[in-house]
């Protein structure tokens, strides 16, 4: 790209340039992601098996490994226009601060009240639930972005929304909870005494601060035992990656418009919703042999499913009521250390991304949280956006890559996903500002305990 002078600080697509279809990367995968299995029989779950848990239309999306494009319904396109397109930002100020010859771009998904990309899938899932004539949906939330996004989507469509929020987040983030209440959602700290599985977990682990896996179990139980409710999930699932492809599609359209091609694409990865969405059209080109990209997943050193997990069938939840999924996992009983701030704390990883990683189509790195917050603070001061701790994992590696370019003189083009803002994570920033934040890397023994809980397969 020669005439970089022409590239503005922020590229906003026109409404008419916005994607009208989601892209399903599974259609281009030679090795398809492994199917969900019934936890009792270990048989693949079909449409009918999943109907008690998920909406019909979403099951179709979940199971479809062949259709490359799905039309985005008009109503969802309308909602997208309320907060999209999101800007693709050229990080001129960060480049200058680093003194790097690298060209850094980030796709910023935080300019909506949920504070993250989660709204892209929340509105889709709520829409299909509404279309099916349901009363409401249940879900879990960890850091709170997903719960907030779902509350917003449900308020817009007039659906009831029950959120089970991991207890430590519920306590650390009373204001995040209050946003969900403002959007009319009910928010319950998990594990709770409201469900059978919650009572069981509390009996076995009194005083637990909860985990995503545990909150999922509760939300699924409530969905399957209440007439007119279904369960929805903000990450991990194939359908979520499908909806989130809008991030990558918009990024690619914007870059193509200016003749820019990324060399390296970086995203944080917890369950994989952002990374999967950001990379999808680029990965599609790579799978079809049309282009090559270096793709890097970044995860916390305290919850290292890609870099230290096993690629195996595992329970998606702690209560073991959900289907089994084949994924890079730390075991459904793994809970990150209490000093871990922010999200990215799920024990497993999207089966799509797990397969792509296992096939050598992408890399993974783990980073420690004090290094992550150092990057977050630098970014906030020069780019003017206070990033979410999750997003800051990607910032960390983008900065590291840009500094490598400074050494080598390479003029790489780096694209990373800035998933959201950190306004509800100030307790974590306070720990960093006070110098009381610490790092935690699980020992091999810690990980062995998690792996011991993996289901025995035939």
Assess 20 for contact with a second copy (CB under 8 A).
no
Q: Are 7 and 53 in contact (CB under 8 A)?
A: no
Assess 62 for contact with a second copy (CB under 8 A).
no
Q: Which stretch binds a second copy (CB under 8 A): 22-30, 211-219, 399-407, 429-437?
A: 429-437
Q: Which stretch binds a second copy (CB under 8 A): 159-167, 230-238, 264-272, 382-390?
A: 382-390
Count CB neighbours of 159 within 10 A. Answer: 21
* Closer CB to a second copy, 377 or 439, in the complex: 377
Assess 457 for contact with a second copy (CB under 8 A).
no
Assess 35 for contact with a second copy (CB under 8 A).
no
Count CB neighbours of 99 within 10 A. Answer: 9
- In angstroms, give the least distance from the CB of 310 to a second copy: 38
Q: Which stretch binds a second copy (CB under 8 A): 179-187, 271-279, 404-412, 450-458?
A: 179-187
Assess 321 for contact with a second copy (CB under 8 A).
no
- In angstroms, give the least distance from the CB of 317 to a second copy: 30
Within 8 A by CB and 6+ apart from 355, the residues are 29, 31, 32, 33, 34, 326
- In angstroms, give the least distance from the CB of 200 to a second copy: 32
Within 8 A by CB and 6+ apart from 384, the residues are 93
Q: Which stretch binds a second copy (CB under 8 A): 40-48, 163-171, 182-190, 390-398?
A: 182-190
Q: Are 322 and 293 in contact (CB under 8 A)?
A: no
- State whether the Cα torsion 445-447-450-454 is positive or negative: negative
Nearest CA to 277 among 86, 8, 47?
A: 86
* Closer CB to a second copy, 11 or 278, in the complex: 11
Identify the residue among 159, 179, 220, 356 touching a second copy (CB under 8 A).
179
Assess 81 for contact with a second copy (CB under 8 A).
yes
C-alpha to C-alpha distance for 181 and 258, rounded to whole angstroms:
42
C-alpha to C-alpha distance for 181 and 170, rounded to whole angstroms:
13
Assess 155 for contact with a second copy (CB under 8 A).
yes
* Closer CB to a second copy, 178 or 359, in the complex: 178
Count CB neighbours of 204 within 10 A. Answer: 9
- In angstroms, give the least distance from the CB of 388 to a second copy: 12
Assess 424 for contact with a second copy (CB under 8 A).
yes
- State whether the Cα torsion 254-75-183-218 is positive or negative: negative
Nearest CA to 211 among 331, 329, 342, 345?
A: 345
- In angstroms, give the least distance from the CB of 405 to a second copy: 22
C-alpha to C-alpha distance for 326 and 315, rounded to whole angstroms:
9
3-class SS letters over 253-267: HHHHHCCCCCCEEEE
Assess 71 for contact with a second copy (CB under 8 A).
no
* Closer CB to a second copy, 124 or 335, in the complex: 124
Residues at the contact surface with a second copy, assessed by CB under 8 A: 8-10, 12, 14-15, 81-83, 93, 111-113, 115, 119, 152, 155-156, 174-175, 178-179, 181-184, 377, 380-386, 421, 423-424, 426-427, 429-430, 432-433
């Amino acid at each position: 790209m020669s005439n970089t002078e022409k590239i503005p600080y922020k590229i906003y697509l026109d409404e008419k340039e916005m994607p009208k279809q989601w892209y399903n990367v599974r259609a281009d995968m030679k090795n398809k992601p492994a199917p969900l299995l019934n936890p009792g029989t270990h048989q693949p779950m079909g449409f009918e098996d999943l109907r008690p848990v998920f909406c019909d239309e979403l099951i179709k999306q979940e199971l479809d490994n062949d259709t490359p494009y799905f039309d985005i319904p008009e109503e969802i396109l309308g909602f997208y226009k309320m907060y999209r397109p999101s800007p693709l930002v050229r990080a001129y100020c960060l480049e200058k601060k680093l003194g790097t010859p690298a060209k850094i771009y980030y796709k910023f998904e935080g300019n909506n009240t949920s504070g993250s990309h989660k709204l892209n899938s929340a509105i889709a899932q709520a829409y299909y639930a509404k279309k099916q004539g349901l009363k409401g949906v249940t879900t879990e939330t960890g850091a709170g972005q997903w719960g907030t996004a779902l509350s917003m989507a449900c308020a817009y469509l007039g659906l009831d929304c029950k959120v089970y929020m991991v207890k430590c987040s519920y306590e650390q983030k009373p204001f995040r909870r209050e946003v969900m209440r403002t959007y009319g959602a009910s928010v319950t700290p998990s594990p709770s005494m409201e469900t059978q599985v919650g009572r069981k977990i509390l009996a076995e682990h009194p005083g637990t601060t909860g985990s995503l896996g545990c909150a999922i179990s509760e939300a699924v139980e409530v969905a399957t035992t209440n007439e007119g409710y279904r369960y929805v999930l903000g990450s991990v699932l194939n359908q979520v990656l499908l909806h989130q492809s809008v991030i990558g599609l918009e990024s690619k359209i914007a870059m193509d418009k200016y003749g820019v091609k990324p060399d390296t694409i970086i995203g944080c990865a917890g369950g994989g919703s952002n990374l999967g969405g950001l990379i999808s059209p680029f990965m599609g080109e790579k799978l079809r042999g049309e282009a090559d990209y270096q793709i890097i997943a970044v995860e916390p050193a305290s919850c290292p499913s890609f870099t230290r997990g096993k690629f195996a069938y595992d329970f998606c939840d702690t209560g073991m009521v959900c289907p089994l999924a084949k994924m890079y996992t730390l075991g459904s009983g793994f809970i990150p250390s209490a000093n871990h701030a922010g999200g990215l704390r799920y024990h497993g990883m999207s089966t799509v991304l797990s397969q792509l990683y296992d096939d050598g189509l992408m890399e993974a790195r783990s980073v420690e949280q004090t290094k992550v917050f150092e990057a977050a603070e630098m970014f906030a001061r020069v780019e003017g956006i206070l990033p979410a701790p999750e997003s800051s994992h990607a910032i960390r590696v983008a900065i590291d890559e840009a500094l490598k370019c400074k050494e080598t003189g390479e003029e790489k083009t780096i694209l990373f996903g800035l998933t959201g803002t950190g306004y509800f994570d100030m307790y974590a920033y306070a720990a960093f500002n006070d110098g009381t934040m610490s790092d935690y890397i699980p020992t091999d023994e810690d990980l062995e305990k998690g792996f011991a809980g993996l289901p025995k397969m035939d």
